[in-house]
Copies of this chain bind each other. A is one copy, B any other.
Amino acid sequence: MQILGEMIIGGTAVKGTVDAIYSVAAETGKRLEPAFGCGDANHVEEACHLADAAFDSYRALPDDVRAGFLEAIGRNILDLGDTLIERVMLESGLPRPRLEGERMRTVNQLRLFASLLRKGRWNDAVLDDALPERAPPRPALARRRIGLGPVAVFGASNFPLAFSVAGGDTASALAAGCPVVVKAHPAHLGTSELVGKAIAKAAADTNMPEGVFSLLIGGIEIGQQLVSHPAICAAGFTGSRQGGLALVKLAQERKVPIPVYAEMSSINPTFLLPAALKARGAAIAAGFAGSLTLGTGQFCTNPGLVIALAGPELDAFLAIASAEVAGKSPGIMLTQGICAAYGRGLGRLREAAGVEEVATGQPATTGSQAGAALFRADASTFLANPVLEQENFGPSSLVVVCRDKAELLAVAGHVEGQLTATLHIEAEDHDLARALMPVLERKAGRILFNDFPTGVEVCDAMVHGGPYPATSDSRTTSVGTAAIERFLRPVCYQNMPDSLLPPVLQQANPLGIWRLRNGDPVKA
């Protein structure tokens, strides 16, 4: 399939005429053909109008039919073959094996939501039967969830497949019965067009309503118009804190405010408890350096902060981790803007009083590369300087040295909201871990043990979310099946004739799904 520089407005390819923009090769900084035409307010209006018009018919489709649509998207993405992989490699600078893995993850994510739809659990069907004998009589009440309405999706630069056009936000919104309007990320426009056309083809192949999916191209203004459009009922965003908060503010200022699920920034504190450091310090150091530099450190869950007690075990850890980091090759970053921001972040750390650079990775040889770095500071220095808590997106981490357990707990209590917190522990560390847990539960969406945070499993139990400012809404996750809940709201039906009720709530349970009936889960 050829890339033509087109948007997709409700199933139709449209070339924008406002401005011509180009993707840039991450490695060389060179402009990539073709030119992409930017859309204007009329395109936003048309995409949103079509999405609104499609909503009722799309959400009324049987779950099985929507599941088939999601699976067709996955097949069409695979059918793009190397055309897709090569374009993403060019635009993102990410290596082939990583992108082949990310493509599979994207397809499996679509399949997982399809399977969730077929199980029917997402409806959260609840029935309280009538109690005509009670004084006063209780009417029959039944509840299910429906989609919020059309959803705006802003993809992430660091997951050009799994968190972009057909990524987690799109998959969960489509599963929820919500049409989706994506604003393409300017760092991977060609990838966006290819994947967008795979979605549009799947929609056509499975007879979805015209407005179920659109893809817009343009600058910040297009994104603002999209979130401000009256037909848009929610938005998903993964990116910088500044960008996320700007969208949240716009959404709050609307005549009818809408939720924005922004996944923004996290430094993912990693606690090395004493017995673990003693027993496995060298192995943890090697694993840590690998997690830190994986994908040139461009993960939301990159371990940007390490916390441990002062002592010879920590000195040994630092020595090994430093050697590991010093040996790491530099990596290409997603964009030159991200690379420059990383360099500024390193500068801030190098200038900060009381912060020592204990290891520097192999130096970059081009302006698009970033090398790893490891810093060290005392807890008192860390606690006094908010700059040290800023996310520095890339392969850089700060080891905070605590003089005792009280100081370690103080650091845990001090950090902002996070996506993850990690503990390395042995049996002798359990008491300290128990003391840390209540603190960390209030700080993070996911807490890991003897593991590294950079892997995010797509499953039912996953929480990729966390207290502000990690995200704009700590009650949700953007990865895993629970991500669908972001785009749903409950509706209750009182005394409704059975033949009018949606099948998931009919007496006979024709779909055979799990429902909560008079207080207990039943399939009957």
Contacts and interface: CB of A to CB of B under 8 A. Distances in A.
Interface of A: 56, 60, 115, 119, 121, 126-128, 136, 138-139, 141-143, 146, 148-149, 252, 256-257, 259, 417, 425, 430, 433-434, 437-438, 441-442, 444-451, 455, 457, 459-463, 465, 467-469, 472-477, 482, 488-497, 499-500, 514, 516, 518-521
7 contacts: A56-B438, A139-B455, A142-B461, A256-B417, A257-B472, A445-B489, A514-B520
Contacts of A519: 115, 119, 460
A475 B451 contact: no
A299 B159 CA distance: 50
Contact of A521 (B425, B475, B477, B521): B521
Nearest to A430: B500
A473 B251 CA distance: 13
A60 to B, nearest CB: 7
A459 B500 contact: no
A138 B256 CA distance: 42
Nearest to A427: B497
Contact of A455 (B136, B448, B476, B497): B136
B495 A141 contact: no
Contacts of A441: 146, 491
B500 A468 contact: no
A425 B467 CA distance: 47
Contacts of A417: 256
A486 to B, nearest CB: 8
B451 A139 contact: yes
Nearest to A472: B257
* A149, A462, A488: residue with the most chain B Cβ atoms closer than 10 Å: A462
Nearest to A446: B492
Contact of A489 (B121, B127, B475, B495): B475
Nearest to A141: B461
A143 B256 contact: no
Given A257-B468, A437-B500, A468-B256, A128 B495 contact: no
Nearest to A459: B128
A437 B148 CA distance: 15
A468 B489 CA distance: 12
Contacts of A442: 56, 149
B482 A490 contact: yes
Given A136-B455, A430-B499, 5 more contacts: A139-B448, A142-B461, A143-B463, A449-B497, A476-B490
B475 A259 contact: yes
Nearest to A437: B500
Contacts of A146: 441
B449 A494 contact: yes
A492 B461 CA distance: 7
Contacts of A141: 457, 459, 461-462
Contacts of A463: 143, 490-492
Contacts of A455: 136, 139
A516 B473 CA distance: 23
B449 A495 contact: yes
A299 B495 CA distance: 20
A448 B490 contact: no
